[in-house]
């Protein structure tokens, strides 16, 4: 279920697509947005019926074909991609007209499993198997991304997000008090 921001300083036409969620719309003023690290977002668009959507998933598939119950399935690409495609079709889109953008899949921490690479490979493979044209992608690397998608018109903007610089703090100087000397 999409989460809609209720903050006064955020336009009501901006919909945040959080981890494990998706949103589909045909409203031209709606802007779907998300921030990704190793996660992947797929943005789909049908240029004829002018409907689009975005999902955001954390992992490609459960390990070893394990079954998922309830909300746990929402974390996985297989579930997220099926939901997004099905909702697009319900909204009038045609599978043969769908156009896709893929974003995310960064491997932000060295020495960790390349989850981002696995997410990106899964998403590409899914689109290929489903016969959906991948027209744009920005995948991999080490930086997070912020995605804004005008779903009904199929326009996306991807910006990298760098972590703020680390400030090294020096311990406070030791100030001697009194006449006691330790040696």
pLDDT tens digit sequence for 98-152: 999 999 999 987 777 889 999 999 999 999 999 999 999 999 999 999 999 999 9
Would you state the pLDDT for residue 101? 98
Domain for residue 173, yes or no? no
Would you state the pLDDT for residue 69? 62
Of 29, 49, 75, 56, the residue nearest 147 (C-alpha): 56
Confidence of residue 170 (pLDDT cuts 50, 70, 90): low
Domain for residue 19, yes or no? yes
Confidence of residue 5 (pLDDT cuts 50, 70, 90): very low
Domain for residue 172, yes or no? no
Of 13, 123, 10, 108, the residue nearest 57 (C-alpha): 123
Q: Residue 107: give its domain's CATH number.
A: 3.30.1330.200
Judge whether 39 counts as a catalytic residue: yes
C-beta of residue 55 within 8 angstroms of C-beta of residue 109 = no
**Residues above pLDDT 70, as percent of the chain:** 76
Position 171 pLDDT exceeds 80: no
Position 91 pLDDT exceeds 90: yes
- 126: domain range? 3-161
Query: What DSSP character marks residue 96?
Result: G
The total number of structural domains in the chain stands at 1
Domain for residue 138, yes or no? yes
Q: Which residues are within 8 A (CB) of 126 and not within 5 positions of it... i.e. 6 or more apart?
A: 77, 78, 81
Domain for residue 97, yes or no? yes
Say how far apart CA 53 and CA 39 lie, in whole Å: 17
Strands 14-16 and 3-4: antiparallel
The one catalytic residue in 39, 42, 43, 158 is 39
| Mean pLDDT along residues 42-60 | 95
Say how far apart CA 70 and CA 107 lie, in whole Å: 28
Of 101, 106, 103, the residue nearest 38 (C-alpha): 106
Q: Which residues are within 8 A (CB) of 167 and not within 5 positions of it... i.e. 6 or more apart?
A: none
H-helix or E-strand spanning residue 134 = strand 133-139
Q: Which residues are within 8 A (CB) of 95 and not within 5 positions of it... i.e. 6 or more apart?
A: 85, 89, 130, 131, 132
Domain for residue 41, yes or no? yes
Domain for residue 171, yes or no? no
Would you state the pLDDT for residue 98? 97
Would residue 140 be called left, alpha or beta, if left means φ above 0 and alpha means ψ between -120 and 50 degrees? left
Query: Higher pLDDT residue, 82 or 181?
Result: 82
Rg (CA), the chain: 21
Domain for residue 32, yes or no? yes
């Amino acid at each position: 279920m999409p989460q809609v921001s209720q903050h006064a300083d955020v336009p009501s036409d901006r919909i945040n697509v959080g981890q494990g969620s998706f949103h589909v719309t045909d409203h031209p003023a709606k802007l779907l947005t998300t921030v990704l690290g190793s996660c992947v977002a797929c943005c789909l668009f049908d240029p004829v019926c002018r409907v689009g959507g975005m999902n955001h998933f954390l992992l490609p598939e459960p390990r070893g074909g394990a079954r998922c119950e309830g909300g746990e399935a929402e974390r996985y690409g297989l579930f997220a991609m099926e939901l997004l495609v099905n909702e697009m079709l319900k909204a009038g889109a045609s599978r043969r007209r769908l156009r896709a953008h893929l974003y995310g899949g960064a491997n932000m921490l060295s020495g960790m499993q390349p989850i981002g690479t696995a997410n990106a490979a899964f998403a590409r493979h899914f689109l290929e198997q489903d016969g959906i044209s991948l027209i744009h992608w920005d995948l991999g690397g080490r930086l997070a991304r912020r995605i804004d998608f005008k779903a009904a018109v199929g326009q996306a903007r991807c910006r990298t997000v760098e972590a703020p610089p680390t400030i090294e703090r020096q311990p406070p100087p030791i100030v001697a008090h009194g006449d006691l000397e330790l040696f």
